[in-house]
Amino acid sequence: MINVLFVCLGNICRSPLAEGIFSHKIKERGIENLFNVDSCGTSQYHIGEQPDPRTVANAKENGIILDHEARQFSKVDFKAFDYILAMDKANYDVIERHDQNQHYTDKFYLMRDFDPDFKGEDVPDPYFGGEAGFQHVFEIVDRSVDSFLEFLIKEHDIKESGAN
């Protein structure tokens, strides 16, 4: 099992979107049984909430159904997950600080490390912006997740079943 965790601040916009897109793509490829996928936030702000209605509506327009209950990142996630992808540098830094003995650094990534267009930058936070921001974020996360999945397929020598 390959355990993948997407992390943002509130766990109601960017990381549940990344989780939803990733889950959709592995199902399309018939490889969903190989993965455990989850998302969380570094803050407590929205614990227990479903994703932001604007994120849900935008994802739906793009063919992705989101269903996730927000939860906060915890240290047990270091052991439970193999790939921990932060949506931005600020949240990456929070995760890094929790890993006081630097045992798990090899598991940490920035989502946009995998963005073929703009490497290493933040996925912008759409929470305080306008509707246009949500489609912009969708496109960034979609292409970053695509290339992350290609990376995993090579790294783990995954053979696609061709279910779709």
* Contact set for ligand 4NP, span 40-79 (CB under 6 A): 41, 45
How far apart are alpha carbons 96 and 65 in whole angstroms? 31
Burial of 78 (0-12, 13-18, 19+ CB in 10 A): middle
E strands, 1-115, are 2-8, 35-41, 83-86, 108-110
9 belongs to the binding site for ligand 4NP (CB under 6 A): yes
Residue 17 neighbours by CB under 8 Å, 6+ apart: 51, 55, 59, 64, 66, 137, 138, 141
Binding ligand 4NP (rule: CB under 6 A), the pick from 4, 5, 12, 59 is 12
Distance of CA 113 to the CA centre of its chain: 12
How far apart are alpha carbons 151 and 34 in whole angstroms? 15
CB of 14 or CB of 107, closer to ligand 4NP: 14
Catalogue the active-site residues.
8, 14, 125
Binding ligand 4NP (rule: CB under 6 A), the pick from 10, 59, 134, 152 is 10
Using CB under 6 A as the criterion, what x/- string covers residues 117-146 for binding ligand 4NP?
A: --------x-x-------------------
CB of 40 or CB of 152, closer to ligand 4NP: 40
In angstroms, give the least distance from the CB of 121 to ligand 4NP. 15
8 belongs to the binding site for ligand 4NP (CB under 6 A): yes
In angstroms, give the least distance from the CB of 52 to ligand 4NP. 7
14 belongs to the binding site for ligand 4NP (CB under 6 A): yes
151 belongs to the binding site for ligand 4NP (CB under 6 A): no
| Cβ proximity of 59 and 138 under 8 Å | yes
How far apart are alpha carbons 45 and 41 in whole angstroms? 9
Token readout for 71 is 């939860």
In angstroms, give the least distance from the CB of 11 to ligand 4NP. 5
